[in-house]
Structure 1
Amino acid sequence: MNQVLKRSEVPAEHRWNLEDMFKNQEAWNKEFQEVQSELKEVARFQGKLSDASAIKECFDLEDQISQKTERLYVYANMKHHEDMADPTYQALSDKATKLSVQTGEATSFISPEILSLSDEQLQKLVKTPELSSYKRTLEEMIRQKQHVLSKAEEALMAQVGNMSQAPSTIFGMLNNADLKFPKVKNEKGEEVELTHGRYIQFLESRNQSVRKQAFETMYATYAKQKNTIASTLSANVTKNIFYAKARKYPSVLEMSLFGDNIDKEVYTNLIDAVHEALPLMYRYMELRKKLLKVNELHMYDLFAPLVEEFDMDITYDQAKQTVKESLKPLGQDYLNVLQRGFDNSWIDIYENEGKRNGAYSWGAYGTHPYVLLNHKDNLNSMFTLAHEMGHALHSYLSDENQPYRYAQYTIFLAEVASTLNEALLMDYLLKRTTDPKEKMYLLTYYMDQFRTTVFRQTMFAEFEKIIHEKAEQGESLTPQLLSKVYYDLNVLYYGKDMIVDQDIEMEWARIPHFYNSFYVYKYATGFSAATSFAKQILDEGAPAVDRYLGFLKSGGSDYSINILKRAGVDMSTPEPIKQAMSVFKDLLGQMEELAK
C-alpha cells in the first residue's frame, strides 16, 4: 500500500461495514426522529420520581433513549473519521453531538430528584423487587449522595464548570500554539525547527550530540516560560482543592479516586511497589549505558535505539495470523470471536486520504465493536492490531453478557484487555525467534514499554501526589518548588548510572496529563494488572483463562477493583505490581545474557 487512496477507491474488503449499525442514511434519520419524540416523553416524569413504578418506567425510557443516542453518535462520528474532509459527515457528526447534549439536558433532573428522597426511602427502593435490575444504579446514587450539594449550590457549581477549564485551556494554547522552539541540527548538520512531534524523533537519533542539543533546546524554551506555566499548573491544583472542599472530600486524591470507588491504598501501593523495584530500573540503566557504548548516560539517552536498525516487514495478513497464534492461550471461544471480527468487516485497515490518524476500538451497544487502524507493514502496527482487538473483544463480551446499563467498563479496566493481548503477543514472538538481533529488538521494545508505562507514569503520579499535598498544606507552588520536586524524583527513579541533567527539572512544564489530575496512575495499574493476568494464564492455563474471561464478561457490573479481584488480580495489594516486576526482571536477565 504505497500510494494513499481516496476513500471511494478503498476496496470493500479493507473497510469496516457500518451497515451493521445502520442500513443507510434513512435508517439513521428515522432513529434520530424517534429519539427527538422520546425526549419529549421524559418531561412527564419530572416531580413524580418517588415511587418504584415511576422510577422503573423512567429508567427504562432513559436507557432506551441513551442507547439510541449513543448509536447515532458513534455511527455519525465513525463515518466522519473515514474522511474528515467530507462535509456531509462533518454535519452529521455535529447533529449527533447536539442530540447528545439535548439528551443530557432532558434527563439531568433524574438523579437530583431521586437523591432528594430521604435515606430511608432510598434504602427501601434498593430492596424493591420491581427495581432489582437497577439496584446497582440506586446503590451508586446513595454512595455519591454525601458529595451532592443542594439544588442552588449545584447550579452554582455548574456555572463554575466553565471557569474551571481555564488552566487546562491556557496551558493548551501556550503549549500548542504560542511556544516556538529554535532550530536544531539534525544528523546531516541541517538546521531543522524543533517541534513537539520532532522532539522524540531527535531523541531517537543515533547521534548523541543531536539528542543533547534537542533536549537542552526544548527545556531552555520551557524555562523561559516557567513563571507562567507554574502559575497555570498551580491554578489547576487550586481548582482541584476548591472542588474537593466544596464536595466534602478529605483530599483531592480521594476525590479523584471516588468515582471508581478506589481506595487511596491502591495509589500508594503502586508508588511503594515501584520504589521497591527501582534497583531493577538501575540495572536496566547500567545495561543501557553498556549497549550504547557511552562514557556517561544522560537523560537524553533514554530513547536512543539500543540495537542496529532491525526491519520487520509484516503484512496485514501475517499480522492477523501471528496475533491469532499468539492468543491461543486464551482458548477457542476467544479465538472464534477474534476470527469473526477478522472475517466480518469489523476493521477499517489502511490509511486513506482524509482518514483520522491513529487507531481505536469503538462501537455501540447492540452491534459488534469496530476497529479503526492505519496499518503499516511493521512490528508496531501488529502490536496495535493486538491491542485494539483486545479492546474490541472486551466490549463484545461485556455487551453479550451485561444489560445496557452495566456493559460499559471503566477506564481503570479498559487498558487491561488491550495490554494483555500485547503481553501474549510479545511472549509468543520471544519464544519463537532464533535470531539474537531480532530477540534483542523485541526485548528492547518491551522493556521500554515497562519503563514508560509503569516507571515513568508512576513517577508522574508521585509528582502529582506531592504537589497536591504541599498545596493542601498551604505551600505555594513556585517554579523553584515544582522543579526541585521533579528533579529529585528523577534522581530517585534513575539511579547512580544516570547523569540526571539539570534541564530535566523543567519537564513538568510540558506534560499535559497534569491538567487531568490523578489520571496517569491508571496506565501503570492497567499495565501491571495485564502483565499479572498474562503470567497467570501462561503459568496456570485453563483456570486462569476462565477467570480472565469472567473479567471480560463483567463489563461495569461491579466496581473495578472487585471485578479484577474475582478474576485473580487484587489491586488493593501490591501483589500484581510485584508480579509485573518479576516479568521485568526476567526480561532484563535475557537482555543481559544477550549483551555478554
Structure 2
Amino acid sequence: MTLTHRQEIPLEETWDLNDLFLSDKDWEQARQHVEKEAEKLSLFTEKIGERAENLANALQAREALMKKLVPIVTYATLSLSSDGTNASAQGNASLAQSTQALVQAELAKLEAEIIKLPEAVIEQFQQENELLQSFHVFLDKLLESKPFSLSSETEEVLASLTPILTNPYSTYLTSKAADMTFPDFIGANGEQKPLSFARFEDQYELSANTEERRHAFITFDDTLKQYEHTYAKLYAGEVMKQVTLARLRGYDSVEHMLLHSQQVTPTMYHNQLDIIYKELAPHMQRYAKLKKDVLGLESFGFSDLKAPLDPEFEPPTTYDQAYETIIEALKPLGEDYSRMLVKAKNERWVDRADNIGKATGAFCSSPYGYHPYILLTWKDTMRGAFILAHELGHAGHFYNANDAQPLHATRPSTYCIEAPSTMNELFLGNHLLASTDDPRMKRWVILQFIGTYYHNFVTHLLEGEFQRRVYALAENGTPLTAITLRETKQAVLSGFWGDAVEITERAGRTWMRQPHYYMGLYPYTYSAGLTAATKAYTLYQDQGQPVIDQWLSMLRAGGTLQPLELFKLAGVDMEKKETIQDAVAYVGSLISELENSYQ
C-alpha cells in the first residue's frame, strides 16, 4: 500500500476551486489588480475628518477592496492545503501573502486616520450619514482598539511586515506538509505500513490493534523528535512576537491583548480552562481506566487513549451514506439549511481525498461572496460522519452570516466559532440514538458523543491550558526551549490524567502536532463552543422549535454582537459557571452510561 499523489485522486473526492478562479492565470491577474486598487486607497484617507460623506466613501472603498482580496487569499491557501508539495501552490501562497501584506498596510493607514478622529466627530458623522450607520460594527471595534493603537507610521510598518510576523505559522505548515516524511512501520502482522501525518491521526491512532497503534505512535514520534528543536524555535518566536506586541501596545499581558481581540474577559477565559481541567479530569480518568479494563491492557499509555472500545462493531458506511444521514439529522434546522447541505455535496464544496502533501485535520473556509470549502480526510468510518457534520456546521454558520451581513460584520469572536459546528454533532448523535433499539449501536453512539467531548473538552482544552502556561513562562522570562515545552506539555497531561494514563516524553512532544498554537488563544474556544452548544441543545429538547429559530438568528447575526450577547440571542448565558459545570456533568453521565453498558 502506497501513499497517493494529488493528480491520482478522483475528481469527485476533491473540491472545485474553479468557483474561485478558473486558472492560476486568472488568479494572478486578479491579484495584480488588487495590488493596484490597494494603492488607490490612500486617495480616500484625505479629508475623512471634514465630512461624513468622505468617511463613508473611504469605508466603502475599504469594503470593496477586502471583497476582492478574499478569493485571492482563499484560492492560494486552499491550493496549498490540498497539496503542500506542489511548487506552484507554494509560490502562489507566498505571492498571496505579499499581496495581503500590501493591502493590510494600506488599510492600516486608513484605520490610523479614523482612530485620530475624536469619537464625538465619528458619532456626529454617523447621525448625519445613513451609510455610515451600516459600518457601526467596524467603527465600534476600531474605537475599542484606540487605547492600544500605535502611531499611524508604526501601524503601517507592522501591517507591511505581516509575511514576516506570520512566518512561524507558515513555516510550520510548510514543514509538516512538504518536508516531514515518515518511514514505514511494522504493522500487526509484520508487514510494512506507510505512515503520514494524516494517516496517523485519522487511522493508526484509532487502530483496534494495540501493537499497530503503539508501533505507529513510536515511529510517528521518532520523526517528530528530529524536528523538536526547530519547532520549539518556531513556536518560541511566535510566543515572543505576541508578548512583544502586547507590551508595545500597552496591554497588561499577552492574554489581555489576545482576549481583547476576542471580546472575552479574563474571567470567562480562566473559568473555561479551570472548571473543565479540574472537574472533567475525574470523569476522564474513569473513562481511561474503563478502556484499559475492557481492552485487557496491562499498561495504558497516551497512544491508547483513542483505541476503539468496541472495534468489532463499526456501522458500515460510505461517504454518500454518511452524508445522507447528516442531512436527515439536521432537518430540524430547516429547509434552507437542508438545501445548503445538498448544494455542498453536489457542487464539490468538500475535499475528502487522502494524498501526499495534504493538510492534516479538518477545517472549513468560508470566503465572503462565495460558498464555503471543507477539507478533511475520509476513511469510511462513522466517526468521519461526525467530523463532516462538524465542518458543515461551520459552513452553515457562515453561509448564513455571509448572506445576512456585510463583509466587515460576518465573523463573530472566535469564542463563538465552534458552537454551530459542535451543535451539528449533537444533532447527528441524537438522531442516530433515536434511529435504533440495538443496545450495541446505542453504546457506539455514546462513544461518538464522548469522542466529540474528548476532542473539544480534552484535546483542545489541554492545548489551551498548555498555552496559558507557556505565555506565563515567556512573560516571566523563561526561555522556551524544546525541553521546556515538552515538560510543560507533560505536566499538563499528567495533571489531568493522574495515574490513569502513563505520560511519557513521547506524550510531551504532542504539542508539536497542532497549528492552533500559532492562531492566538484559539484552542480553548473549542470548549466554549461545545459548552454553549450543549446548553442550547438541552433547551431545544425542552422547548422545541423556538430554540431552533433563536439558533438560526444567532447564525445570521454573524459578528454584529459581542460573544456574550450573541449566545444570549440563542438563550445561553456563558457568564454563569453553571453553564460550564452542567456540560461537564453531562460528559460524566455519558461515561456512567458507558460503564453500565459493560456490567
The TM-score normalised by the length of structure 2 is: 0.82
- Give, as a single letter, the amino acid of the residue that structure 1 aligns with 2:256: E
Deviates more, 1:423-432 or 1:562-571: 562-571
Per mean C-alpha deviation after superposition, the further-off stretch among 547-556 and 581-590 is: 581-590
Amino acid at match of 1:142: L
**Rounded Cα–Cα distance in structure 2 between residues aligned with 1:459 and 1:354:** 29
Alignment CA distance shift 1:563-1:453 (3 Å): same
Work out whether 1:423 is the aligned partner of 2:422. Answer: no
User: For 1:509 and 1:590, how far apart are their aligned partners in 2?
Assistant: 34
Label 1:539 to 1:286 Cα distance change in 2 as closer, same or farther (>3 A): farther
Match of 1:456 in 2: 459
C-alpha change, 1:123 and 1:422, in structure 2 (3 Å) is same
Task: Report the CA distance between 1:288 and its aligned residue.
Answer: 1.0
Q: Distance in 2 between matches of 1:353 and 1:224?
A: 23
Does the C-alpha gap of structure 1 residues 78 and 558 become closer, same or farther in structure 2, counting only changes over 3 Å?
same
| 1:162-241 mapped onto 2 (5 Å cutoff) | 164-165=165-166, 185-190=186-191, 196-197=197-198, 199-200=200-201, 201-212=203-214, 214-215=216-217, 233-241=235-243
Q: The residue matched to 2:589 in structure 1 has which SS? A: helix
SS at match of 2:148: coil
Deviations 1:298-356 (A, max 9, x none): 223212221123343334543343222212333455445545656x7364577599997
Give the corresponding residue for 1:392.
395
Larger displacement relative to structure 2 (208-217 or 59-68): 208-217
1:497 alignment counterpart: 500
Residues 286 and 380 (structure 1), Cα distance of their counterparts in 2 relative to 1, 3 Å cut: closer
Q: Distance in 1 between matches of 2:169 and 2:141?
A: 29
**TM-aligned CA deviation for residue 215 of structure 1:** 4.6
Q: What's the CA shift string for 1:120-148, capped at 9, x where partnerless?
A: 43454455444211222222111111111
Correspondences of 1:338-353 after superposition (within 5 Å): 338-339=341-342, 345=347, 347=349, 351=353
Comparing 219-228 with 480-489, which one deviates more in the overlay? 219-228
Q: Distance in 1 between matches of 2:392 and 2:230?
A: 42
Distance across 2 between alignment mates of 1:286 and 1:5:
41
Over 3 Å counting, the alpha-carbon distance change for 1:211 and 1:407 in structure 2 is closer
Residue 110 of structure 1 aligns with an amino acid whose one-letter code is L
Counterpart-to-counterpart distance in 2, 1:478 and 1:19: 44
TM-aligned CA distance change 1:149 to 1:31, over 3 Å: closer
Contact 2:275 2:580 in 1 (8 A): yes
Change (3 A) 1:59 1:479: closer
Q: How far is the alpha carbon of 1:81 from its aligned partner?
A: 8.6
1:254 matched residue in structure 2: 256
Deviations 1:265-316 (A, max 9, x none): 1210112221122221122122112211123322232122211233433345
Deviates more, 1:127-136 or 1:211-220: 211-220
Tell me the distance in 1 between the aligned counterparts of 2:447 and 2:291. Answer: 10
Q: Distance in 2 between matches of 1:454 and 1:54?
A: 48
1:546 to 549, 552, 561: 549
Q: 1:195 to 1:553 in 2, by over 3 A?
A: closer
After TM superposition, give the deviation of residue 553 of structure 1 in Å: 1.0
The offset of 1:187, in angstroms, is 1.3
Q: Is the 8 A contact 2:413 2:563 kept in 1?
A: yes
Residue in 1 that maps onto 2:140: 139
What is the aligned partner in structure 2 of residue 473 from structure 1? 476
**Secondary structure, counterpart of 2:293 in structure 1:** helix
Distance 1:63 1:507 in 2: 40
The residue number in structure 1 matching 2:517 is 514
CA distance in 1, matches of 2:431, 2:209: 33
Deviation of 1:493 after TM superposition, in Å, equals: 0.9
Q: Deviations over 1:347-369 (max 9, x none)?
A: 45775999977765445444554
Letter in 1 for 2:596: E
Q: Secondary structure at the match of 2:558?
A: coil
What does residue 272 of structure 1 align with?
274
- Counterpart position of 1:54: 54
Q: Does 1:300 align with 2:303?
A: yes
**Whole-angstrom CA distance in 1 between matches of 2:287 and 2:563:** 32
Alignment correspondent of 1:529:
532
User: Which residue does 1:312 correspond to in 2?
Assistant: 315
In the alignment, structure 2 segments of 5+ residues that lack a partner are none
Residues 245 and 98 of structure 1: is their aligned pair in 2 closer, same or farther, counting only changes over 3 Å? closer
Deviation digits for residues 45-69 of structure 1, max 9, x if unmatched?
A: 2322113110101212222333244
Structure-to-structure mapping, 1:353-368, within 5 angstroms: 361-368=364-371
Aligned runs of 1:104-123 on 2, under 5 Å?
104-123=104-123
Q: Is residue 10–residue 352 contact of structure 1 (8 Å, CA) maintained in 2?
A: no
Shift of 1:549: 1.1
Instruction: Classify 1:29/1:544 alpha carbon distance in 2 versus 1 (closer, same or farther; 3 Å).
Output: same
Q: Compared with structure 1, are the counterparts of its residues 389 and 118 closer, same or farther at alpha carbon in structure 2 (3 Å cutoff)?
A: same
Distance 1:328 1:269, change over 3 A: same
List per-residue Cα deviations over 1:63-101 (Å, max 9, x = no partner).
233324435665787799999999999999888777655
Partners of 2:505 and 2:443 in 1: CA distance: 31
Counterpart in the other structure of 2:445:
442
Cα distance in structure 2, aligned partners of 1:195 and 1:119: 54
**Can you list the C-alpha shifts for 1:496-550, whole angstroms capped at 9, x where unaligned?**
3333345534444555433444221122222222233222222321221122111
Gaps of 5+ in 1: none
Residue type of the alignment partner of 1:430: L
Aligned-residue RMSD, C-alpha: 4.4
Q: Do 2:109 and 2:156's aligned partners in 1 also have CA atoms closer than 8 Å?
A: no
Shift of 1:454: 1.0
CA offset at residue 22 of structure 1?
A: 8.3
Aligned equivalents of 1:112, 1:383: Cα separation in 2:
44
Number of matched residues? 591
Give the distance between the partners of 1:120 and 1:167, measured in 2 at CA. Answer: 41
* Distance (Å, rounded) in 2 between the aligned partners of 1:214 and 1:84: 23
Match of 1:44 in 2: 43
Distance in 2 between residues matched to 1:508 and 1:84, nearest whole Å? 21
Q: Which amino acid aligns with 1:407?
A: T
Give the CA deviation at 1:495. 2.8
Q: Choose which of 414, 418, 432 in structure 1 pairs with 2:417.
A: 414
Specify the alignment match of 1:560 in structure 2. 563
8 Å contact 1:329–1:538 — kept in the other structure?
no
Rounded Cα–Cα distance in structure 2 between residues aligned with 1:573 and 1:256: 22
In the alignment, which residue of structure 1 is the partner of 2:151? Answer: 150
Q: 1:559 to 1:355 in 2, by over 3 A?
A: same
Q: Percent identity?
A: 28
Residue 380 of structure 2 is aligned to residue 401 of structure 1: no
Other structure's SS at 1:259 match: helix
CA–CA distance in 1 between the matches of 2:581 and 2:37?
51
How many Å apart are 1:378 and its aligned residue?
Answer: 3.9
Tell me, in whole angstroms, the C-alpha distance in 1 between the residues paired with 2:553 and 2:40.
Answer: 38
User: Cα deviations across residues 547-592 of structure 1 (Å, max 9, x unaligned)?
Assistant: 2111111011122332112212233333332232233123212211
CA contact (8 A) 1:7 1:352 kept: no
Q: Residues 177 and 450 of structure 1: is their aligned pair in 2 closer, same or farther, counting only changes over 3 Å?
A: same
What is the distance in 1 between the residues matched to 2:512 and 2:574? 31
* C-alpha displacement of 1:111: 0.5
SS in 2 for 1:307: coil
